[in-house]
């Protein structure tokens, strides 16, 4: 029987006698499957959850349900729960690291999806709080609803081929996403066409590592496997990207026959296999079962495909298995594939692989800009037509109209040609995007971030970011050109701009630019509207018109770095330098112990690889926290810190978050939890001055501070040791504002000038609040400060936790929280039970020593940054300012400068608000002459 809709597809799979499973590996663990359920289990779970969904507040029969998860299991279960309930799911993409972009994205989705009901997990719910009016619910809260006794009323069975099944978002998590309407019939015909094209049957076994928000998972793997009731395995992308050879081990372990891998990952697997004895510490995999590797998202390099094919043959693969394809969300993922890679491409002597022919249900053609249909081998606009193609963008008639020609063919936005054998080849994209390792980025967003950083030596409004694919490269690269404001011989400024741009690019895209070139103004002409042409800039670069400037810049920077390189002075530095050189594939002679990770273009994946390699090479018995890598980016700095980790701990309050820049250093004092992690995001944006943070005593077994006087004395001494002379710039976050105020008084009493004293959302009188916080409340505050739970969850369980503490003790409260904390977050923060307990004790001690604090004395000036207050202290910003913050006037000689900032007390420095906060902070420093 042929399924009429997705729900029937699941029903048919659930009836299959083989009872195959969907198996999911937990994040961080690829040794054994974490969770699994049969198709029958999935159907029953979906039906049960479907009966709960109508009870969700604000849900309507026509509601779109926006699903946002960070793991495969919950995403799959709740996708089918929404389908079973008869609603339309929209699958949320991962959020961008750009706070402004994230906020804009959520506001856009609220309108686009017509006030959707948002379903997520508790650990992710906090991310939605930045936008007012979102109807957000957690699966944990929904599962507490009382289920109706009658298991009927499920409307999913009534869905027809032309009914809307799911909304998939385009453009990732940035820009103005469109919601692609995928219909039941379209999806079913698509997966049938894929299976026919590739010869897939119920004997196949699927492996996926892409999120369900991408059609490469939903249609290419999940639904296609379900069509055959075939086994499917899901693993986290982060686990494969750290060690690509895990792919081969999983293929062997589960006898995988079908998987997906973009070109950049094919290149990573190839590099790993070309290492001498890649499986030295384990048995070689048996890949005789493997036959299909779908590849898409970016062009496939023929040389890499040929190399990997040869390497896989060593482990038992008997034929060509890489299937380069073309697909979009609008075409239900892959819809055009090559089954002759690399042989067809090698015979034609092509650099990039052909994309083959259409699956049943799709046609393709090439047209000119004037609409003329072009003949074979002519490059033009790729257009598609057929029943597997989408019909419209949800709630966006303008975009829908623009997407189709007058005769209803879909404009893909790609330039391509079709050869004499009917095989498709891409020639480029009409749209302005950069695809780095399979992920799309927008050049204008990186340009904005660079401009917003106000980098000394860079002329505003003359920065251009564009993509370029270097010869023999496995992926596109980022290129940046800019107009310098420094003199050509000012090498320090030249290096400073390059490093600042690299740092911002790494933060935005995860990679360092391929080229950063300062150009003469004559090469950056603006239009009558004041715009620079990205297309013309790229064309000039690829034509070699910037080579003189490029060589001059590269030679100057290389010569400078060569004079700065220092040799290792001990075995630890030598070992780290060796790992550094090996990981980034550069000669050891070209780097020194003062070389920074940021110069090399690290990504988060490479930081984890670097950390793991160092731990192995140095035989460390302690875990290196990620913050240690981020705050000690040079080889010498990291070596010194690791030796401290391995030896007796000597407390120093100073943590340098950013060492570069000539402007007055900024000192940041920790909040009540004692740690300085909260300032990491801020430090990324400030590249023109050193940033030092002050960290509380007691994290590494030292005695806690006895009183505020001891804290102030210790921090004052640390500041003077690093910066003997003023002027000084000091700011504190929350509790740290009180300490910054006290330290500033000591500095001014000794004749030093404090030109900037920043108070981040704290009033002068705090003892009433300090007395409200017992150990349990401090632990709960710490938990949502660390993103182990949401603020709402902490408030909700507070009474229960106090009862638990009173009856069984604080240890049971800690157990309760740790059992429910996200494993990935615990691992990222290098937290365990002992560290969490110590941290809670330290934070409680910091609160306790301020229970009798009364402010006194005066400082010369103050800048007050205020956000939405805690509910426990004020009901509104107005009440917060008028009744609490205004009292600082009694302790300042001049009228304070007031700065309203985005977010709430615990989120004002978070990823969602840091972009606007840093702009306000930097402007206030400049206003104070710093």
User: Active-site residues: which are they?
Assistant: 734
10 Å Cβ neighbour count for 288?
Answer: 13
CA-closest candidate to residue 475, choices 209, 271, 339: 271
User: What would the DSSP string read from start to end of 53-120?
Assistant: GGGSTT--TT-EEEEE-SSHHHHHHHHHHHHHHT-EEEEPPPPPS-HHHHHHHHHHHHHHTTSPEEEE
Question: Is the previous residue joined to 152 through a cis bond, with omega within 30 degrees of 0?
Answer: no
CA-closest candidate to residue 258, choices 297, 203, 305: 203
Q: How far apart are CA 381 and CA 578, in angstroms?
A: 49
Please, is 691 exposed, middle or buried when counting C-beta atoms within 10 Å of its C-beta (0-12, 13-18, 19+)? buried
Enter the tokens of residue 782.
Answer: 């710490």
Residue with tokens 């109209």: 401
Enter the tokens of residue 263.
Answer: 């070109």
Per DSSP, the chain holds a count of helices (H) and strands (E) of: 35, 31
Q: How far apart are CA 22 and CA 13, in angstroms?
A: 11
The residues with which 364 forms a beta bridge, in sequence order, are: 384
H or E stretch at 345? helix 343-347
Collect contacts of 563-568 with beta carbons under 8 A, ≥24 apart: 564/592, 564/594, 565/590, 565/591, 565/592, 565/594, 565/595, 566/592, 566/593, 566/594, 566/636, 567/592, 567/593, 568/593, 568/635
CA angle 836, 837, 839 (to 5 degrees): 65
What's the alpha-carbon Rg for the chain, to the nearest Å?
29
Edge-first strand order for the sheet with 728-733 is: 654-658, 691-694, 666-669, 728-733, 754-760, 863-868, 897-904
Q: How far apart are CA 509 and CA 174, in angstroms?
A: 12
Enter the tokens of residue 298.
Answer: 């970016």
Residue with tokens 């007012």: 132
Q: How far apart are CA 223 and CA 10, in angstroms?
A: 9
Enter the tokens of residue 148.
Answer: 């109706």
User: What would the DSSP string read from start to end of 548-610?
Assistant: HHHHHHHHHHHHHHHHH----SSHHHHHHHHHHHHHHT--GGG--TT-BHHHHT--HHHHHHH
CA angle 96, 97, 103 (to 5 degrees): 60
DSSP 734: T
Q: Are 260 and 237 in contact (CB under 8 A)?
A: no
């Amino acid at each position: 029987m042929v399924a009429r809709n997705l729900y029937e597809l699941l029903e048919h799979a659930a009836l299959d006698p083989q009872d195959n499973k969907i198996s999911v590996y937990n994040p961080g663990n690829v040794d054994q499957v974490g969770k699994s359920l049969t198709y029958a289990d999935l159907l029953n779970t979906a039906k049960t959850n479907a009966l709960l969904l109508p009870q969700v507040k604000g849900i309507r029969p026509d509601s779109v349900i926006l699903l946002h998860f960070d793991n495969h299991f919950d995403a799959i279960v709740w996708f089918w729960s929404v389908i079973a309930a008869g609603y339309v799911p929209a699958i949320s993409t991962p959020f961008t690291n750009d706070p402004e972009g994230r906020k804009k994205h959520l506001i856009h989705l609220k309108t686009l999806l017509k006030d959707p009901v948002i379903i997520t997990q508790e650990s992710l719910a906090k991310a939605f709080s930045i936008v007012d009016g979102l109807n957000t619910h957690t699966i944990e809260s929904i599962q507490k609803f009382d289920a109706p006794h009658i298991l009927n009323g499920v409307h999913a069975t009534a869905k027809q081929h032309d009914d809307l099944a799911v909304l998939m978002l385009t453009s990732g998590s940035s820009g103005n996403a469109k919601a692609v309407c995928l219909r039941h019939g379209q999806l079913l015909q698509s997966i049938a066409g894929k299976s026919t094209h590739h010869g897939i049957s119920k004997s196949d076994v699927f492996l996926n590592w892409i999120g369900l928000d991408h059609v490469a998972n939903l249609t290419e793997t999940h639904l296609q496997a379900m069509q055959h009731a075939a086994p499917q395995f899901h693993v986290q992308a982060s686990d494969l990207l750290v060690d690509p050879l895990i792919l081969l081990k999983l293929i062997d372990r589960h006898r995988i026959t079908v998987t997906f891998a973009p070109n950049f990952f094919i290149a990573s697997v190839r590099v790993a296999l070309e290492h001498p004895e890649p499986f030295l510490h384990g048995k070689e995999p048996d890949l005789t079962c493997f036959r299909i590797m779908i590849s898409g998202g970016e062009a496939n390099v023929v040389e890499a495909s040929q190399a990997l094919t040869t390497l896989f043959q060593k482990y038992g693969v008997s034929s060509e298995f890489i299937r380069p394809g073309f697909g979009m969300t609008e075409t239900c993922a892959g819809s055009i594939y090559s089954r002759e890679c690399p042989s067809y491409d090698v015979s034609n002597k092509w650099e990039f692989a052909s994309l083959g022919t259409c699956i049943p249900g799709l046609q393709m053609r090439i047209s000119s800009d004037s609409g003329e249909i072009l003949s074979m081998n002519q490059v033009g606009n790729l257009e598609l037509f057929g029943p597997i193609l989408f019909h419209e963008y949800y709630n966006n008639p303008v975009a829908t109209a623009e997407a189709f020609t007058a005769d209803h063919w879909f404009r893909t936005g790609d330039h391509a040609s079709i050869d004499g054998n009917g095989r498709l080849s891409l020639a480029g994209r009409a749209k302005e995007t950069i695809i780095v390792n399979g992920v799309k980025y927008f050049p204008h967003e990186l340009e904005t971030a660079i401009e917003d950083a106000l980098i000394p030596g860079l002329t505003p409004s003359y920065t251009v970011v564009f993509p370029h694919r270097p010869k023999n490269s496995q992926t596109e690269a980022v290129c940046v050109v800019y107009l310098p404001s420094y003199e050509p011989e000012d090498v320090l400024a030249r290096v400073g701009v390059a490093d600042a741009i690299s740092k911002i690019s790494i933060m935005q895209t995860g990679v360092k630019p391929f080229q950063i070139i300062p150009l003469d103004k004559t090469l950056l002409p603006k239009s009558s509207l004041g715009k620079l042409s990205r297309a013309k800039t790229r064309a000039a670069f690829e034509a070699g018109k910037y080579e003189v400037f490029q060589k001059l810049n590269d030679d100057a920077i290389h010569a400078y770095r060569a004079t700065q390189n220092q040799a290792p002075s001990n075995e630890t530095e030598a070992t780290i330098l060796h790992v550094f050189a090996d990981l980034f594939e550069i000669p050891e002679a070209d780097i020194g112990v003062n070389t920074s990770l940021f110069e090399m273009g690290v990504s988060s994946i490479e930081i984890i690889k670097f950390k793991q390699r160092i731990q192995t090479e140095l035989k460390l018995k302690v875990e290196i926290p990620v913050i240690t890598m981020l705050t000690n980016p040079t080889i010498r700095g990291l070596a010194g810190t690791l030796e401290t980790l391995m030896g007796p701990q000597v407390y120093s309050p100073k943590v340098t978050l950013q060492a570069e820049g000539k402007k007055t250093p900024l000192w940041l004092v920790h909040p009540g939890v004692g740690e300085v992690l909260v300032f990491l995001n801020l430090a990324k944006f400030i590249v023109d001055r050193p940033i030092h943070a002050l960290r509380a005593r007691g994290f590494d077994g030292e005695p806690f501070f006895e009183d505020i006087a001891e804290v102030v004395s210790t921090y004052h001494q640390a500041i003077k040791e690093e910066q003997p002379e003023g002027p000084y710039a000091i700011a504190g976050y929350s509790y740290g504002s009180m300490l910054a105020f006290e330290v500033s008084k000591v500095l001014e009493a000794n004749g030093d000038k404090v030109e900037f004293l920043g108070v981040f959302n704290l009033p002068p009188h705090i003892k009433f609040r300090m007395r409200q916080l017992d150990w349990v409340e401090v632990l709960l505050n710490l938990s949502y400060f660390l993103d182990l739970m949401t603020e709402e969850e902490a408030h909700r369980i507070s009474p229960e936790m106090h009862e638990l503490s009173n009856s069984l003790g604080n240890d049971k409260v800690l157990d309760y929280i740790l059992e429910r904390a996200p494993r990935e977050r615990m691992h990222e923060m290098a937290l365990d039970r002992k560290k969490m307990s110590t941290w809670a004790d330290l934070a409680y001690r910091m609160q306790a020593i301020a229970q009798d604090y009364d402010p006194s004395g005066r400082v010369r000036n103050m800048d007050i940054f205020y956000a939405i207050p805690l509910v426990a202290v004020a009901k509104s910003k107005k009440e917060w300012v008028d009744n609490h913050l205004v009292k600082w006037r009694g302790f300042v000689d001049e009228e304070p400068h007031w700065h309203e900032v985005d977010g709430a007390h615990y989120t004002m420095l978070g990823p969602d608000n840091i972009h606007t906060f840093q702009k306000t902070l930097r402007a206030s420093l400049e206003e104070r002459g710093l």
